[in-house]
Amino acid sequence: MQGLVTVFGGSGFVGGQVVRALAKAGHRVRVAVRQPNLAYKMRMLGDVGQIEVVQANVRNPSSVARALDGAEGCVNLVGVLFESGRQKFLSVHTMGARNVAEAAAKAGVKHLVHVSAIGADVNSPAKYARSKGEGEAAVREAFPGATIVRPSIVFGPEDDFFNRFAQMAALAPALPLVGGDTRFQPVFVGDVAAVIAKAVASPAAAGVTYELGGPTVYTMREILELILVETGRNRPLIPLPWPVASLIGSLGDLVAGVIPPPLTSDQVQMLKSDNVAEQGLPGLAEAGVTPTAVEAIVPSYLYRYRKGGQYAETPAGAF
């Protein structure tokens, strides 16, 4: 069995696939999460004793150092989509990333993979993207040989993108369309996990920044139309002007501390920019991973939003 890899945020949607990929590759895996009691299923992703779960909070340097004790590799997946309580963009994406990178360097970790996002930019008007860019800079300063992975929207059975809009289509008489012409390049969660697992074990990945996008670029309108076809729902798309979307986002900011908001003001800002991989940076192909199409995976879980669920007939035009 190969050396120990600590995965911060390993119990989430992407994290579970990363842990599985690392275990399959023969690594011992330490899953570092804020609430270990909620991550008990992680141990079942590998052989007996191959995966352990420990408590750690990237905002707490001492807990990060403990989680890295004896580790040869490290993956930082911690991120938030909206701010709530102490989970702020700055504290998690920037300061937390710095804590992990500094502790990894001090502990003598050989390989660090930091997961960021396409659009990360210290000059971005969106706080999410700006904090991601600042986090990348902090990681590069503390651990110059780190591998940075920037995925576009990540899809898979437990995603919070296709599932969210499919659920809305099942319940609402119409779907709001914000940024209908904004382009996205959805990437399969299994492909992202494969790149990360390869990077942890590859000296050639040191210092490299990957931008990961799937084989097809879609506009937001095209994505919503695909979801409607797959779920068999006939719903009109209602374009929302930016001022109206911003107002809804501001209301989302107010409830973010109580319930997951449908939209925040920061997300409205990000919807004004395309989310596609930059041509000049290595991607899935350079990492040795064949991209998986949305049409090959999404129908396997969106069927549950059709009338009749798994017993419903496949809608006309569906994949």
Q: What is the DSSP string of the chain?
A: -EEEEEEETTTSHHHHHHHHHHHHTTEEEEEEES-GGG-GGGGGGSSTTTEEEEE--TT-HHHHHHHTTT-SEEEE----SS-BTTB-HIIIIIIIHHHHHHHHHHHT-SEEEEE--TT--TT-SSHHHHHHHHHHHHHHHH-TT-EEEEESSEESTT-SSHHHHHHHHHH-SSEEESSTT-EE--EEHHHHHHHHHHHHT-GGGTT-EEEE--S--EEHHHHHHHHHHHHT----EEE--HHHHHHHHHHHHHHTTTS--S--HHHHHHTTS-B---TTS--TTTTT-PPPPHHHHTHHHHGGGSTTGGGSPPPTT--
pLDDT at 227: 97
The HSE-up count of residue 87 (CA atoms within 13 Å, CB side) is 11
Q: What is the pLDDT of residues 134-158, one digit of tens each?
A: 999 999 999 999 999 999 999 999 9
Amino acid sitting at position 24: K
Q: What is the pLDDT of residues 297-308, one digit of tens each?
A: 999 999 999 987
CB atoms closer than 10 angstroms to residue 227:
24
Sign of CA dihedral 91, 139, 3, 198: positive
pLDDT at 153: 96
pLDDT class of 288 with cuts at 50, 70, 90: very high
This prediction's pTM: 0.94
**pLDDT over 70 for what percent of the chain?**
97
Q: Phi and psi at residue 163, in whole multiples of 5°? A: -65, -40
pLDDT at 258: 85
pLDDT at 316: 65
pLDDT mean across residues, the chain: 94
Q: Say if residue 283 is exposed, middle or buried (CB neighbours under 10 Å; 0-12, 13-18, 19+).
A: buried
pLDDT at 47 over 60: yes
pLDDT at 5 over 90: yes
CATH number of 2-154+186-212: 3.40.50.720
pLDDT at 41 over 90: no
Average pLDDT (241-247) is 95
- Measured between alpha carbons, how far is residue 90 from residues 3, 30, 115, 147, 267 in Å? 32, 25, 15, 21, 16
pLDDT at 121 over 70: yes
Q: Enumerate the domain spans of the chain.
A: 2-154+186-212
pLDDT class of 164 with cuts at 50, 70, 90: very high
| Residue of 151, 165, 235, 164 lying closest to 195 (CA atoms) | 151
pLDDT at 312: 65
Average pLDDT (101-105) is 98
Q: In what order do the strands lie in the sheet with 51-55?
A: 51-55, 27-33, 2-8, 73-76, 111-115, 147-151, 209-212
